[in-house]
Amino acid sequence: MITPMETAFPEVHPGVRMWLTDLDAPDADAGAALLSSDETARAARFVFDHHRRRFVAGRAALRRILGAEVGRSPETLVFEYSPAGKPSLPSGVAPGVHFNLSHSDQWALVAVTRIGPVGVDIEKRRPLADVLRLAQTAFSPNELDELRGVAPEGREEAFFAGWTRKEAYIKARGDRLALLGDFDVSLASDRPRLTRVAGTASETERWALASFVPVEGYAGALCVERSTSSAGRR
């Protein structure tokens, strides 16, 4: 099942579209024939069958979405990969098409845009026994200070907002940052922003962030490179 999502995120860009996919749908792995040989080999390496099925379902959904976007059969698409493993389509096949895939448990999100590099993240929310301790492994000192200032009953929501925003930014860049602490995002639910990137002051204006609830019980975030005109208006 692939469900188009309305992406009314003017603070990001109206040209970004997203799709939500149920990886546990009865026909979820029916698209195995669409996968390339390297994707099939990767699927075969999963130890547990439900992980294999979810991988197959996610890649098949991605291929169907991109095939419709560029007017090609899904099984004919060839991906290129950045050093960090981010897939892209060859520029000769799909000039200007940017996309990203994220999955958590049974759900996957696909974002597609022609604006610029894009990253998306979906995370299943769960009770956290010690949210501040967990945040020390992923958040910067500034983000930890902000999290400590949040009322205890709101810290889990702030944690998942921050975590998904950080993941979306990393995925949008498509490279390896030295440390998660090398950049800051805001944690407030109504003010998603990239607030600091070590050594690159202009980077915070280059990217736009949005947070949303893709499906009940999950947190989502989107990061996309701003167009020159939209960056200048901020």
pLDDT in tens, 54-94: 999 999 999 999 999 999 999 999 999 988 888 999 988 88
pLDDT at residue 3 in the model: 53
Give pLDDT, residue 91. 83
Q: Which fold has domain 2-120?
A: Ribosomal Protein L22; Chain A (3.90.470)
Spell out the alpha helix ranges (H) of the chain: 37-44, 49-70, 131-135, 141-148, 155-173, 203-206, 228-233
Residue 191 has φ and ψ, to the nearest 5°, of -135, 65
Q: CB of 98 within 8 A of CB of 117?
A: yes
Residue 177 confidence (pLDDT): 64
What would the two tokens of residue 133 be? 């301790």
DSSP 102-143: EEETTEEEEEEESSS-EEEEEEE----TTHHHHHTTTS-HHH
Low-confidence spans in the chain with pLDDT less than 70: 1-13, 176-178, 228-234
Phi and psi of 203, rounded to 5°?
-65, -30
For 69, phi then psi, to 5°, come to: -65, -40
Pairing of strands 17-22, 87-88: unpaired
Q: What pLDDT shows up at residue 65?
A: 93
Kindly report the backbone phi and psi dihedral angles of residue 226, in degrees, each rounded to the nearest multiple of 5, phi listed first.
-70, 150
Q: Is CATH 3.30.470.20 what the domain over 122-226 is classified as, yes or no?
A: no
The tokens of 66 are what? 């991109």
Q: How does strand 98-104 pair with strand 194-197?
A: unpaired
Give the pLDDT score at 2.
Answer: 53
> For the chain, what is the largest distance between any 2 Cα atoms, rounded to a whole number of angstroms?
51
Q: Which pLDDT score, from 0 to 100, does residue 135 have?
A: 96
Residue ranges, CATH 3.90.470.20, the chain: 2-120, 122-226
Q: Taking the C-alpha atoms of 78, 14, 119 and 145 in order, what is their torsion angle to the nearest 10 degrees?
A: 180
Exposure of 201 by Cβ count < 10 A (0-12 exposed, 13-18 middle, 19+ buried)?
Answer: exposed
The residue assigned the tokens 């309305």 is 6
